[in-house]
Amino acid sequence: MITRSLRTCSAGAVAVMTALTLPVLLGFTSLGIEVGHWYLTQRVMQGAADASAISAAAQWIADQEAGSTSSTTYQTVGVNFASYNGYTIPTSNVCLVSSSGNNCASVLALDSRSIVCTSPPCVVVEITQNTALWPTTQASLEPGPAGVQSIPTPTLRARSVVSMNVTTSTTTTNGADCILSLANATNSVTVEGGGDLVARCGVAIDGGLDQNPSTPVIGGITFNGSGAKTEVTSLVMSGNYTESAECATNAQHCYLWSATQSPGSTTSLPVSAFFGNTATQDPYAATVAAMFQTGGIGVPPEGVAGVTLNQPGSGYTNGTRLFQLQNTGNTTAPAEVVVTVTGGKVTAVVGVFDPGVYTSVPGASVAASDITNGTTNPGSGANFKLTEGCFAFPGTAVGSMAWTPIPGRKYCSIYNHGQGNINFPTGNYYIAGGDSNCVGLCQSGNNAGMTSDVAGVTFFLTDGEGTGTYGINSYAQVSIQSGTVNFCSPGTSCGTTCTNSISTSCMLFIQNPAAPGGPPTTIKRYNNIVNGNGKNTLAGLVYLPKQTFNTVGTSSIGGCFGVIAYYVDIGGTPTFSNGCLPGNGIGGTTTTVTKYSTPFLFQ
């Protein structure tokens, strides 16, 4: 009875329907709200990741600029700033992508999307949230039927990638010095007797600091004689300049170079032009050292030192003839030899005319042809055996055949012994060790002179390759005892400036840094002397890092040239100028500044 009336009664129907539908309605409503919450959280996470990545990038840049190039502090900063912006992440969620790799394995394990960093380096920050662990998500999904439970709960991922722009700028300041001495001695630079060192530039003495470091640092200048003086624009010394106090306190030695008065400036060098305890780099040390390494431009080629007749051949023109050896594939310039031909056969070898340029001088006999007067002449069958070695400088003739210097060859020495003027065509000259005539480049005789083409020459002063006095233990030096020289290095055009266009630009005398050395007064043999009564003119760099550059007597040297030497010993009245030095000159600086900026490149 009661059951029947209950079934037919419609009272309270809305309440029943509401009771049935309300949980479902509430469930879907809360799910909708929760999905919105996911989007909101995703947006907030991205902002936190961006802020964290930018902050980490700022730290990375600060570390790079401070020189801490391998610092990982950026990771700590990234973690901290993620926290400041609401999210806690582990250190491994902050990583760096560089051009050589990355440390982002953990980030990629969390989020397999590839990291887009088109312009490394980039800082990457990853923030993740597993919504299944949120109480709000769990409340939205539970309790509910199985179908609701299967709705996926996403892991929210926010990744920020910030690219740091790297720009490098180089600032170059030309040097103001034209003399640099490298010995750590109070007489690193010495002015002798009535000598007057005139320099339209500064004099730098580094010994003890950047070069040949030792203590105490006493690199300074010494004046031997009351008449000794210097006229320069500045004096930079590695030692405390009180070591050279006579220059600072006694104006009779030190004067300021003057365009109108020098030589003979009466203006004392002001104290402001002294720089004590100051290092000056040798700007050419690395460049020159590389020149004398295997394959370097300062390493002489092989050449033919001697020739002996093996087969006389036949059909040749009688007389003194010039023969060129056959190119056997190992030369860019075959050797040439002067021979005597009698009865159509080669009967004697007069001497080597051109040692040639060889990668390896042939050991077997080599055929030759008569090229006298620049044409190929009749005859055949003659061949010669060759001896490798440096070429003895023949002066002005080989036998009766006129001869002029040939660039690019390996000479034992270059010696002008009163033979008038010898001009050196443009190119590199290799002087390897010396011989009994001369150890290097020498000149004697008042009427002797050496000049170069305007396009310039470079003399590489290096060692020999044989044995004995002038073999591997002998290094070429410069010894101009009399006469005059007028040399220009490449790029100077014998003028007042130099254009750096080739590797030997502005380089005149370049000595192998492996050469032995010592102080000028005790080991005279290491003096590189420029003497003479005439006016010598040099243009370019004279580089003698282990030996002494010495002007003596009443010699006068002019031109646009600078000197780097272990010791500088000045007599006479040489005039220096720094316009013809390679690169930035002496005392110049090259500063490379790397700047970073952080453009937005968010992933």
For position 600 contacting another protein by CB under 8 A, the verdict is: yes
Number of residues that bind another protein (CB under 8 A): 32
At closest approach, how far in Å is the CB of 115 from another protein? 21
Q: Which residues, listed in sequence order, are joined to residue 57 by a DSSP beta bridge?
A: none
Q: How far apart are CA 302 and CA 300, in angstroms?
A: 7
The amino acid present at 13, given as its one-letter code, is A
Instruction: Considering only the stretches 41-49, 231-239, 386-394, 549-557, report the one whose residues sit in contact with another protein under the rule CB under 8 A.
Output: 41-49
Instruction: Considering only the stretches 30-38, 136-144, 270-278, 286-294, report the one whose residues sit in contact with another protein under the rule CB under 8 A.
Output: 30-38
Q: Which residues, listed in sequence order, are joined to residue 304 by a DSSP beta bridge?
A: 388
Instruction: For another protein, give the closer residue by CB, 123 or 478.
Output: 123
Q: How many CB atoms lie within 10 A of CB 320?
A: 15
Instruction: Considering only the stretches 31-39, 212-220, 266-274, 480-488, report the one whose residues sit in contact with another protein under the rule CB under 8 A.
Output: 31-39
Instruction: For another protein, give the closer residue by CB, 9 or 105.
Output: 9
Instruction: Considering only the stretches 11-19, 196-204, 209-217, 527-535, report the one whose residues sit in contact with another protein under the rule CB under 8 A.
Output: 11-19
At closest approach, how far in Å is the CB of 130 from another protein? 20
Instruction: For another protein, give the closer residue by CB, 154 or 418.
Output: 154
Among 55, 93, 140, 222, contact with another protein (rule: CB under 8 A):
55
Instruction: Considering only the stretches 46-54, 195-203, 208-216, 559-567, report the one whose residues sit in contact with another protein under the rule CB under 8 A.
Output: 46-54
Q: How far apart are CA 101 and CA 318, in angstroms?
A: 75
For position 43 contacting another protein by CB under 8 A, the verdict is: yes
Instruction: Considering only the stretches 50-58, 109-117, 362-370, 383-391, report the one whose residues sit in contact with another protein under the rule CB under 8 A.
Output: 50-58
Q: How far apart are CA 233 and CA 424, in angstroms?
A: 34
Phi and psi based region of residue 356 (left: phi greater than 0; alpha: psi -120 to 50; beta: remaining): left
- Please name which of 526, 574, 534, 535 lies closest in space to residue 551, comparing C-alpha atoms: 574
- Please name which of 480, 417, 421 lies closest in space to residue 445, comparing C-alpha atoms: 417
For position 80 contacting another protein by CB under 8 A, the verdict is: yes
Among 64, 81, 341, 406, contact with another protein (rule: CB under 8 A):
81
- The answer to whether the CB of 576 falls within 8 A of the CB of 157 is no
Run of H or E residues at 60: helix 13-65
For position 348 contacting another protein by CB under 8 A, the verdict is: no
Angle between helices 73-84 and 13-65 (to 10 degrees): 150
For position 73 contacting another protein by CB under 8 A, the verdict is: yes
For position 90 contacting another protein by CB under 8 A, the verdict is: no
- The answer to whether the CB of 396 falls within 8 A of the CB of 441 is no
Among 29, 138, 172, 214, contact with another protein (rule: CB under 8 A):
29
DSSP codes of every residue in 246-295: HHHH-TTTEEE--TTT-SS--SBPPGGGEE-S-----TTHHHHHHHTSTT
Among 72, 76, 287, 320, contact with another protein (rule: CB under 8 A):
76
- Please name which of 203, 365, 337 lies closest in space to residue 269, comparing C-alpha atoms: 203
At closest approach, how far in Å is the CB of 298 from another protein? 47
Instruction: For another protein, give the closer residue by CB, 37 or 385.
Output: 37
Among 27, 31, 47, 365, contact with another protein (rule: CB under 8 A):
47
Taking only Cα atoms into account, the Rg of the chain, rounded to an integer number of angstroms, comes to 41
For position 11 contacting another protein by CB under 8 A, the verdict is: yes
For position 19 contacting another protein by CB under 8 A, the verdict is: no
Instruction: Considering only the stretches 70-78, 276-284, 525-533, 574-582, report the one whose residues sit in contact with another protein under the rule CB under 8 A.
Output: 70-78
Dihedral of alpha carbons 507, 513, 515, 516, sign: positive
The amino acid present at 536, given as its one-letter code, is N
Among 27, 31, 72, 85, contact with another protein (rule: CB under 8 A):
85
At closest approach, how far in Å is the CB of 25 from another protein? 9
Angle at 346 between CA 345 and CA 352, to 5 degrees: 160
Residue 233 DSSP symbol: S
Q: How many CB atoms lie within 10 A of CB 62?
A: 15
Q: How far apart are CA 352 and CA 109, in angstroms?
A: 76
Instruction: For another protein, give the closer residue by CB, 63 or 465.
Output: 63
What the block records as the tokens of 394 is 């023949």
For position 28 contacting another protein by CB under 8 A, the verdict is: no
246 contact partners, CB below 8 Å, separation of at least 6: 223, 253
For position 84 contacting another protein by CB under 8 A, the verdict is: yes
For position 16 contacting another protein by CB under 8 A, the verdict is: no
Q: Which residues bind another protein (CB under 8 A)?
A: 11, 14-15, 18, 29, 33, 36-37, 39-40, 43-44, 46-48, 50-51, 54-55, 58-59, 62, 73, 76-77, 80-81, 84-85, 597-598, 600
